[in-house]
């Protein structure tokens, strides 16, 4: 009951519980007094002896007196000795309870010991009392010591587990034989299971090294290397399918654990879940590749456009200029009659207008001046008028919502989509009417080009030289927007480009 002995010592004397307070339960005051004298004689450290003559109050008195030893009589009127001894034992598991009495049958003695009595001593053998008490104190001390050790061990265990659980990495502690002795909460989460140390569970786990793509052999897992070859493995990325069947990326390493004398204590395996990071990297790489592809496609489209402009310049403007040169050459000849020279000049003048108009067309194709001069909707209106003039179709434009200022690149992107969609409607749809709608909403602008022509199947595979629809999709993608094409045979086509307003991606 005393808690003074805290340390662990191999010396049995140090383990012996002290004897300072003894409770004597006996209905004979004379016997109790005799015993008290004897005890004081034989145990000089004894400070107090408490006599309890009434067997029914033993527990309450013990609660107050806090004895190091109880010596109880057996035969007392109204005394339930078995019940009292069991109650004492339950309340104070390490307290020695010695039964000292006159004659007691063997059966009763066995019952007493079963109830928790430490020993039984006949009153006739009182000379053995000191020896029996001494032994009981030693055993009680040892029991108490063991209890304290167990408590300390349990505390250490809980503390250790709490620390291990707090570590923001998966931890697996292996015995020198390679058995998993402990794991932590984080490790269990990573493995998609309740904490388990069952080796057979782990035997089912498959893994691949992320750098080489090679399967991880059973002897090559970091924990196995630490145990088998005593080798430390620096954290290395691996792809693992966990108990829940999820693919995860772990950065996993292990180190052998050694005692001060160099003997093996097993190993510790640690792993950090980098799945989210690896996933992000993959998506970043894919986005980069897509962006590279888009830029390449756009620059190819640009090259094609430049080639077309060069062809236009050569075939149209070049021809007109050559003709102009001929006329001006003739007009400059002094051997020509003046009337003929005048004629040549008259022929040349309209050609200058034609050349200027073609030059304007080419410039407009390269960068529509209305777009920068008047804005998106006026440029679209002018585009529609030109398309109507060229095709004889009804081409109308409408604008809804409150127009907002948008970046020139977004303006040009929408304009090019309208150009391409109109060209397609003119070339392929056989439509009677085409409608171009520009709609402004909070944070978004959308452009819709719809025709009432023959329609087509938007998902049909396209020849590489068919660049129109692909170009529209990619242009919108590059600008952080989206393009949708809705069409079916006989039902016309609707192309819609949407862009977020307020900044390019």
Ligand X SMILES: Nc1ncnc2c1ncn2[C@@H]1O[C@H](COP(=O)(O)OP(=O)(O)OP(=O)(O)O)[C@@H](O)[C@H]1O
Distance in Å, CB of 448 to ligand X, minimum? 13
Verify binding: residue 18, Mg ion, rule CB under 5 A.
Answer: no
Answer for which of 190, 274, 429, 436 binds ligand X (CB under 6 A) is 429
Contacts with ligand X, 433-462, as mask; x by CB under 6 A: ------------------x-xxxx-----x
Number of residues that bind Mg ion (CB under 5 A): 2
467 interface partner picked from ligand X, Mg ion, none, CB below 5 to 8 A per type: ligand X
Verify binding: residue 309, ligand X, rule CB under 6 A.
Answer: no
CB-nearer residue toward ligand X: 191 or 497: 497
| DSSP annotation string for 302-364 | HHHHHHHHHHHIIIIIHHHHHHHHHHHHHHT-TTS-HHHHHHHHHHHHHHHHHHHHHHHHHHH
CB-nearer residue toward ligand X: 118 or 435: 435
- 456-464: long-range contacts, CB 8 A cutoff, minimum separation 24: 456/428, 456/487, 456/489, 456/493, 457/487, 457/488, 457/489, 458/485, 458/486, 458/487, 458/493
Q: Is 434 left (phi over 0), alpha (psi -120 to 50) or beta?
A: beta
| DSSP annotation string for 26-54 | -S-HHHHHHHHHHHHHH-TT--EEEEE--
Euclidean distance between CA atoms 370 and 376, whole angstroms: 8
* The two structure tokens encoding residue 120: 């039984």
Distance in Å, CB of 496 to Mg ion, minimum? 17
**Cβ contact 271:223 at 8 Å:** no
Verify binding: residue 424, Mg ion, rule CB under 5 A.
Answer: yes
493 interface partner picked from ligand X, Mg ion, none, CB below 5 to 8 A per type: ligand X
Residue nearest to ligand X (CB): 468
Distance in Å, CB of 495 to Mg ion, minimum? 11
Nearest Cα to 495, choosing from 479, 475, 503?
A: 475
- What is the number of other CB atoms lying within 10 angstroms of the CB of residue 52? 22
Contacts with ligand X, 474-503, as mask; x by CB under 6 A: -------------------x----------
CB-nearer residue toward ligand X: 230 or 432: 432
Q: Cα dihedral angle (470, 476, 477, 480), rounded to 10 degrees?
A: 180
CB-nearer residue toward Mg ion: 299 or 423: 423
Nearest Cα to 92, choosing from 76, 68, 72?
A: 68
Distance in Å, CB of 335 to ligand X, minimum? 51
Answer for which of 468, 477, 482, 504 binds ligand X (CB under 6 A) is 468
Euclidean distance between CA atoms 282 and 443, whole angstroms: 30
What totals of helices (H) and strands (E) does the chain contain, helices first? 16, 16
Number of residues that bind ligand X (CB under 6 A): 16
Pairing of strands 444-451, 433-441: antiparallel
Verify binding: residue 467, ligand X, rule CB under 6 A.
Answer: yes
Contacts with ligand X, 406-425, as mask; x by CB under 6 A: ------------------xx
Q: Cα dihedral angle (437, 440, 445, 447), rounded to 10 degrees?
A: 0
Verify binding: residue 468, Mg ion, rule CB under 5 A.
Answer: yes
Verify binding: residue 466, ligand X, rule CB under 6 A.
Answer: yes
- What is the number of other CB atoms lying within 10 angstroms of the CB of residue 476? 22
Verify binding: residue 394, ligand X, rule CB under 6 A.
Answer: no
CB-nearer residue toward ligand X: 55 or 455: 455
Contacts with ligand X, 15-54, as mask; x by CB under 6 A: ----------------------------------------
* The two structure tokens encoding residue 425: 């409607």
343 interface partner picked from ligand X, Mg ion, none, CB below 5 to 8 A per type: none
Distance in Å, CB of 424 to Mg ion, minimum? 4
Contacting residues toward Mg ion, per CB under 5 A: 424, 468
Contacting residues toward ligand X, per CB under 6 A: 424-425, 427-429, 451, 453-456, 462, 466-469, 493
């Amino acid at each position: 009951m005393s808690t003074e002995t805290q340390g662990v010592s191999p010396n049995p004397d140090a383990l012996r519980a002290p004897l300072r307070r003894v409770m004597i339960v006996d209905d004979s005051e004379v016997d109790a007094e005799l015993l008290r004298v004897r005890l004081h004689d034989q145990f000089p450290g004894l400070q107090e002896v408490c006599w309890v003559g009434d067997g029914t109050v033993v527990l309450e008195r013990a609660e107050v007196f806090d004895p190091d030893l109880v010596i109880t009589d057996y035969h007392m009127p109204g005394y339930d000795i078995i019940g009292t001894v069991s109650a004492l034992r339950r309340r104070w598991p390490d307290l020695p309870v010695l039964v000292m009495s006159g004659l007691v049958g063997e059966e009763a003695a066995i019952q007493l010991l079963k109830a928790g009595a430490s020993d039984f001593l006949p009153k006739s053998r009182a000379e053995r009392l000191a020896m029996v008490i001494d032994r009981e104190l030693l055993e009680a001390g040892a029991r108490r010591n063991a209890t304290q050790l167990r408590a300390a061990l349990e505390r250490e265990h809980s503390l250790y587990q709490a620390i291990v659980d707090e570590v923001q990495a998966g931890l697996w502690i292996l015995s020198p034989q390679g058995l998993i002795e402990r794991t932590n909460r984080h490790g269990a989460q990573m493995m998609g299971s309740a904490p388990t140390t069952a080796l057979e569970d782990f035997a089912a786990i498959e893994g691949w090294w992320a750098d080489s793509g090679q399967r991880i052999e059973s002897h090559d897992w970091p924990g196995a290397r630490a145990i088998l070859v005593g080798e430390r493995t620096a954290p290395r990325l691996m792809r693992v399918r966990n108990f829940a069947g999820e693919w995860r990326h772990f950065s996993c390493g292990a180190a052998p654990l050694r005692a001060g004398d160099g003997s093996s204590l097993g190993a510790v395996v640690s792993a950090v879940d980098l799945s989210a990071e690896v996933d992000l990297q993959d998506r970043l790489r894919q986005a980069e590749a897509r962006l590279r592809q888009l830029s390449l496609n756009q620059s190819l489209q640009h090259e094609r456009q430049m080639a077309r402009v060069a062809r236009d310049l050569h075939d149209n403007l070049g021809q007109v200029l050559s003709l102009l040169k001929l006329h001006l050459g003739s007009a400059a000849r002094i051997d020509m009659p003046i009337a003929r020279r005048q004629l040549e000049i008259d022929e040349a003048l309209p050609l200058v207008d034609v050349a200027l108009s073609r030059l304007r067309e080419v410039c407009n194709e390269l960068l529509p001046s209305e777009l920068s001069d008047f804005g998106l909707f006026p440029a679209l209106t002018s585009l529609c008028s030109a398309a109507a003039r060229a095709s004889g179709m009804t081409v109308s434009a409408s604008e809804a919502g409150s127009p907002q200022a948008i970046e020139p690149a977004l303006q040009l992107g929408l304009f090019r989509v309208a150009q391409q969609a109109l060209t397609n409607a003119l070339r392929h749809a056989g439509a009677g009417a085409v409608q171009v709608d520009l709609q402004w909403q909070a944070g978004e602008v959308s452009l819709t080009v719809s025709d009432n022509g023959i329609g087509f199947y938007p998902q049909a595979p396209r020849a590489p030289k068919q660049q129109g629809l692909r170009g529209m999709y990619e242009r919108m993608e590059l600008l952080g927007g989206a393009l949708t094409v809705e069409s079916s045979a006989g039902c016309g086509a609707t192309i819609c480009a949407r862009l977020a307003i307020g900044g390019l991606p």
